[in-house]
């Protein structure tokens, strides 16, 4: 009986197509339906900060170099992950990530709570030659980042693109993107004050790669790594309230 029904269905092209559409619709409904209640399930937090132009540029470099292929940015609720990496990731922490970089591949450790775990000097040394600080590392070298001057002239366009998908950058932030990138990497410059004024007192303002004569790609990447897990305290507050 089953063979007869299957043979009949295969010979009926229209019926077979309708059956495929029906089965696919069930899977689609399961995936789409939760989106209608997303505002009830995603946390909100009043202290969420935006990526500065320098940090956003560092994130773009992180994507360009394929770092996401070996490092995830999502700590699961499993006990061993929480004990190793810190509080599990919350959806609100990624609300301004376009695209999101949660990932699942871990050739290297998860980076969701990397911010402020190591010094800027450690990150620079690690990126130049990972084996200098982690002898067993299989990570490639990225020493050229310290030699490459960061492209600054299009940072405003990157912020504008992020605003188009929902990140609340203001016209002032977009207009001062270049100055803010220079100021964040040079704390002694006249432009440094504008960075904290626009992005908050918690913003890291320092010479990330140790140089102040030029803003490098190393500055940008280290600035980005140092804010991972630090744009909001929501996860830490949730853990403390348990």
Residue 124 maps to which CATH number? 1.10.760.10
Q: Which of 227, 234, 242, 240 is nearest to 90 (CA)?
A: 234
Average pLDDT over residues 225-231: 96
Q: Are residues 29 and 57 in the same domain?
A: no
- 111 found inside a domain: yes
With beta carbons less than 8 A apart as the criterion, state whether 125 and 137 touch. Answer: no
123 has a pLDDT exceeding 70:
yes
- 139 found inside a domain: yes
- 238 found inside a domain: no
113 has a pLDDT exceeding 80:
yes
Q: Are residues 114 and 172 in the same domain?
A: yes
Average pLDDT over residues 29-46: 75
Q: Are residues 131 and 203 in the same domain?
A: yes
Q: Are residues 20 and 60 in the same domain?
A: no
- 242 found inside a domain: no
- 184 found inside a domain: yes
The long-range contacts involving 195-201, CB below 8 angstroms and separated by at least 24 positions, are: 195/52, 198/170, 198/172, 198/173, 199/49, 199/50, 199/52, 199/173, 200/49
Q: Are residues 218 and 157 in the same domain?
A: yes
Q: Are residues 31 and 137 in the same domain?
A: no
Count of domains observed in the chain = 2
Average pLDDT, the chain: 91
pTM score above 0.75: yes
Q: Are residues 59 and 29 in the same domain?
A: no
Average pLDDT over residues 25-42: 76
Q: Are residues 102 and 8 in the same domain?
A: no
- 16 falls in which pLDDT band (50, 70, 90)? confident
- 20 falls in which pLDDT band (50, 70, 90)? confident
Q: Are residues 165 and 206 in the same domain?
A: yes
- 47 found inside a domain: no
Q: What is the pLDDT of residues 154-204, one digit of tens each?
A: 999 999 999 999 999 999 999 999 999 999 999 999 999 999 999 999 999
242 has a pLDDT exceeding 70:
no
30 has a pLDDT exceeding 70:
yes
Q: 7 versus 68: which is more confidently predicted? A: 68
What per-residue confidence (pLDDT) applies to 118? 97
- 236 found inside a domain: no
Q: Angle between the 217-225 and 53-64 helix axes, to the nearest 10 degrees? A: 100
Domain hosting 35: range is 2-41
Q: Are residues 108 and 20 in the same domain?
A: no
185: buried, middle or exposed (CB in 10 Å: 19+, 13-18, 0-12)? buried
Q: Are residues 69 and 166 in the same domain?
A: yes
- 98 found inside a domain: yes
Q: Are residues 72 and 32 in the same domain?
A: no
What per-residue confidence (pLDDT) applies to 13? 74
Q: Tell me which of 30-34, 114-118, 172-176 is least confident.
A: 30-34
CA distance 85 to 36: 32
């Amino acid at each position: 009986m089953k063979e007869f029904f299957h043979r009949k269905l295969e010979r009926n092209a229209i019926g077979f197509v309708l059956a495929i559409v029906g089965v696919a619709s069930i899977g689609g409904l399961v995936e789409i339906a939760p989106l209608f209640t997303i505002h009830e399930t995603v946390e909100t937090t009043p202290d969420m900060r935006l990526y500065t132009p320098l940090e956003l540029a560092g994130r773009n470099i992180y994507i360009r170099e394929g770092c996401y292929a070996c490092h995830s940015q999502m700590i699961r609720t499993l006990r061993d992950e929480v004990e190793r990496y810190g509080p599990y990731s919350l959806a609100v922490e990624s609300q301004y990530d376009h695209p999101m970089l949660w990932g699942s591949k871990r050739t290297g450790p998860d980076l969701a709570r990397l911010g402020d775990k190591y010094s800027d000097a450690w990150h620079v040394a690690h990126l130049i030659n990972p084996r200098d600080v982690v002898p067993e590392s299989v990570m490639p070298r990225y020493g050229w980042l310290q030699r490459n001057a960061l492209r600054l002239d299009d940072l405003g366009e990157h912020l504008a693109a992020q605003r188009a998908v929902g990140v609340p950058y203001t016209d002032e932030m977009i207009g001062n993107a270049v100055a803010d990138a220079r100021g964040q990497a040079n704390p002694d410059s006249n432009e440094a004050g504008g960075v904290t004024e626009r992005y908050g007192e918690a913003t890291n303002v320092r010479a990330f790669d140790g140089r102040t004569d030029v803003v490098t790609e190393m500055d940008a990447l280290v600035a980005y790594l140092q804010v991972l897990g630090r744009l909001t305290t929501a996860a830490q507050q949730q853990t403390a309230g348990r």
